[in-house]
C-alpha cells in the first residue's frame, strides 16, 4: 500500500510540474501579446478579447491567469521596474574608470542598456508617461508614477567618476545631464522616428552628440545670441500669447480648455468624452452637442499649436545664419514651446508612440519639421560647420531632434535660459573636456 502510494505520488509530481510549466508559458504568452497590443494601440483601446485572440485562446481561458486588463498592466510595470533596477545594478563601476581616454565607452554602454530596456518594455514605458485612467487601482497608480531612481543614481555616479579623471568639463551640470540622459534614452523606446535604427546605435549617437558636440568650431554665446536666427526666434516667441480666457457663455472654448488639460494629464486614448464632460461639469450630451468628436477636439487643440511651431521653424530656417546658429535658435523655439504650450507638448507625446492617433495633417507637420532639421544639418555638413563622422544623416538628424527637445520636466525645473546654456555646453560644444 505504501509502495503503491509512493508510486502514485511519483506519477503525479511530473504531471503537476508539467502543468505548472504550461501555465507559466501561457502566462508569459499573454503578457507578451498584451504588451504588443498596449504598445501599438494604446492601453485604453486594447481589449482583453484582443489579447486572447492574439494568443489563440478563449477570453475565459485568459481569466484563469489574469483577472483583469489592469492586473496585466501591473505585472508589465513590475517587470519593467525590475528590469530597470537590473540595468542599474549591472552599470559600469566608477572605480574601474581610471583615464579620460577610456571614459566614453562605459557611459555609452550604460546608456545603451537603458535604451534597450526601454525598447523591450515600451508598453510599460507608455503606461508610466501619463497619469493612469480614472478609477485605476492604487498599485497601478504607484507603479506608473515611480521614477527610475536606480538608473539615475547609477548614471550620476558614473558621471562623477568620469569627471574625476578629467573627462567631463567643469562647467557641465551633472544633475541636468543625468536627468537629460536618462529621459532621452528611455524616450528611444517610444519614438517612431528611430524605427530604422537599433537602440544601441541610437544611444551611441546620442552620447556622442552630448559629449563630443556637433559644431566643428563652436561659436561663443555672444555670437549665438546675436545671430539672425536667434533674433528671429526670440521675436516670434514674444508673440506667443497666453491661452485666452473664455467668457462664461463660451462653451466651446471652455470645453477645449478642459479637454487640453485632460489629454495632457491622461493621454488622448485614455481620456473619454465622459471624462471631459465631468471635468467641465457638464452633461455628456451637452459636450456632444458642442463638439463633433474627441478627435475633432484633438485636431483643434493641436492644430493651432503646430501652426505656431511650424511657422517659427520656417522663419528660423530661412534666416541668413550658420547651421549651428539655426539649431541653437530652434532649441530656443522648442524650449519656449515646452514652457508656453506645456499641455500641448504633453499631448504631442502620443505621436512618439508606435501607432499615433489618425491625425494625418498633424503628423505631416511633425515630419516636415524633422525634414527641416535634416536639411539644416546637411547644409552644415557640406559647409564644414557640423561634425560627427561615421553617422548616417537620417540617424544623426533624428538624434539631434531628440536633443533639441529637452525633457519637459527638466525644462520646468531649471528654466529655459539654463536649459539653453546646457544645450550649448553639450550638443554644440560637447560635455567632454577634450572637445572644448
CB 214 within 8 A of CB 386: yes
User: Is the four-CA dihedral 277, 282, 287, 290 of positive or negative sign?
Assistant: negative
CB 365 within 8 A of CB 371: no
Distance CA 359, CA 344 (A): 15
Number of H helices, E strands in the chain: 22, 0
pLDDT of residue 434: 59
For 88-107, how does the pLDDT look when each residue is reduced to its tens digit (9 = 90+)? 999 999 989 999 999 999 99
Distance CA 139, CA 159 (A): 33
pLDDT of residue 355: 45
At residue 337, φ and ψ (nearest 5 deg) are -65, -40
For 113-138, how does the pLDDT look when each residue is reduced to its tens digit (9 = 90+)? 999 999 899 889 988 887 777 678 89
CB 351 within 8 A of CB 187: no
In angstroms, what CA-CA distances link 46 with 2, 121, 189, 330? 53, 17, 19, 37
Q: Is 239 exposed, middle or buried (0-12, 13-18, 19+ CB in 10 A)?
A: exposed
Other C-beta atoms closer than 10 Å to the C-beta of 16 total: 9
At residue 374, φ and ψ (nearest 5 deg) are -60, -45
Task: Give residue for cell 485636431.
Answer: 299
Report which of 350, 339, 333 is spatially closest to residue 237, judged by C-alpha positions.
Answer: 333
CB 401 within 8 A of CB 373: yes
Q: Read off the DSSP letter of residue 352.
A: G
- Which domains can be identified in the chain, with CATH numbers? 1-67 (1.10.10.60), 68-212 (1.10.357), 213-421+426-430 (1.10.357.10)
H or E element, residue 205: helix 199-212
Residue ranges in the chain whose pLDDT is less than 50 = 1-12, 354-356
CB 270 within 8 A of CB 43: yes
pLDDT of residue 130: 74
Distance CA 325, CA 421 (A): 13
Is the model's pTM score more than 0.75?
A: yes
pLDDT of residue 194: 54
Other C-beta atoms closer than 10 Å to the C-beta of 413 total: 13
Distance CA 109, CA 104 (A): 9
What is the full DSSP assignment across 16-80?
A: HHHHHHHHHHHHHHHHHHHHHHHHHH-TTT--HHHHHHHHTS-HHHHTTT-SSHHHHHHHHHHHH
Distance CA 425, CA 330 (A): 16
Distance CA 31, CA 174 (A): 37
| Residue 342: strand pairing partners | none
Q: Please write down the long-range contacts of 46-50, taking CB distance under 8 Å and 24 or more positions apart.
A: none
Cell reading at 273: 468624452
- CA atoms within 13 A of residue 136's CA, in its CB half-sphere: 26
What is the full DSSP assignment across 144-165?
A: HH---HHHHHHHHHHHHHHHHT
Cell reading at 272: 473619454
Amino acid at each position: 500500500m505504501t509502495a503503491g502510494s509512493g508510486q502514485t505520488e511519483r506519477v503525479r509530481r511530473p504531471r503537476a510540474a508539467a502543468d505548472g510549466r504550461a501555465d507559466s508559458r501561457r502566462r508569459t504568452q499573454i503578457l507578451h501579446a498584451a504588451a504588443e497590443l498596449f504598445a501599438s494601440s494604446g492601453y485604453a483601446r486594447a481589449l482583453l478579447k484582443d489579447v486572447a485572440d492574439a494568443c489563440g485562446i478563449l477570453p475565459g481561458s485568459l481569466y484563469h491567469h489574469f483577472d483583469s486588463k489592469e492586473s496585466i498592466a501591473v505585472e508589465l510595470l513590475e517587470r519593467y521596474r525590475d528590469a530597470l533596477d537590473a540595468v542599474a545594478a549591472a552599470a559600469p563601476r566608477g572605480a574601474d574608470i581610471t583615464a579620460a581616454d577610456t571614459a566614453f565607452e562605459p557611459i555609452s554602454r550604460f546608456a545603451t542598456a537603458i535604451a534597450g530596456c526601454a525598447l523591450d518594455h515600451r508598453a510599460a514605458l507608455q503606461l508610466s508617461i501619463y497619469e493612469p485612467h480614472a478609477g485605476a487601482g492604487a498599485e497601478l497608480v504607484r507603479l506608473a508614477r515611480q521614477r527610475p531612481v536606480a538608473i539615475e543614481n547609477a548614471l550620476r555616479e558614473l558621471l562623477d567618476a568620469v569627471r574625476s579623471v578629467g573627462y567631463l568639463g567643469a562647467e557641465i551640470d551633472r544633475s541636468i545631464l543625468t536627468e537629460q540622459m536618462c529621459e532621452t534614452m528611455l524616450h528611444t523606446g517610444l519614438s517612431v522616428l528611430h524605427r530604422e535604427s537599433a537602440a544601441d546605435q541610437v544611444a551611441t549617437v546620442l552620447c556622442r552628440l552630448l559629449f563630443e558636440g556637433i559644431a566643428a568650431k563652436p561659436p561663443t554665446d555672444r555670437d549665438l545670441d546675436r545671430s539672425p536666427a536667434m533674433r528671429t526666434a526670440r521675436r516670434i516667441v514674444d508673440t506667443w500669447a497666453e491661452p485666452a480666457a473664455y467668457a462664461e457663455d463660451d462653451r466651446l472654448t471652455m470645453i477645449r480648455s478642459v479637454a487640453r488639460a485632460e489629454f495632457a494629464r491622461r493621454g488622448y486614448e485614455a481620456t473619454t468624452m465622459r471624462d471631459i464632460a465631468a471635468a467641465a461639469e457638464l452633461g455628456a450630451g451637452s459636450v456632444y452637442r458642442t463638439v463633433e468628436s474627441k478627435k475633432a477636439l484633438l485636431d483643434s487643440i493641436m492644430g493651432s499649436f503646430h501652426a505656431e511651431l511650424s511657422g517659427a521653424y520656417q522663419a528660423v530656417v530661412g534666416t541668413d545664419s550658420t547651421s549651428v546658429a539655426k539649431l541653437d535658435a530652434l532649441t530656443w523655439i522648442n524650449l519656449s514651446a515646452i514652457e508656453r504650450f506645456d499641455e500641448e507638448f504633453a499631448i504631442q507625446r502620443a505621436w512618439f508612440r508606435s501607432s499615433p492617433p489618425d491625425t494625418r495633417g498633424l503628423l505631416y507637420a511633425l515630419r516636415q519639421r524633422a525634414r527641416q532639421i535634416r536639411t539644416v544639418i546637411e547644409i552644415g555638413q557640406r559647409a564644414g560647420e557640423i561634425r560627427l563622422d561615421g553617422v548616417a544623416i537620417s540617424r544623426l538628424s533624428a538624434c539631434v531632434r531628440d536633443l533639441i527637445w529637452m525633457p519637459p520636466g527638466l525644462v520646468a525645473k531649471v528654466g529655459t535660459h539654463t536649459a539653453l546654456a546646457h544645450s550649448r555646453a553639450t550638443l554644440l560644444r560637447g560635455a567632454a573636456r577634450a572637445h572644448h
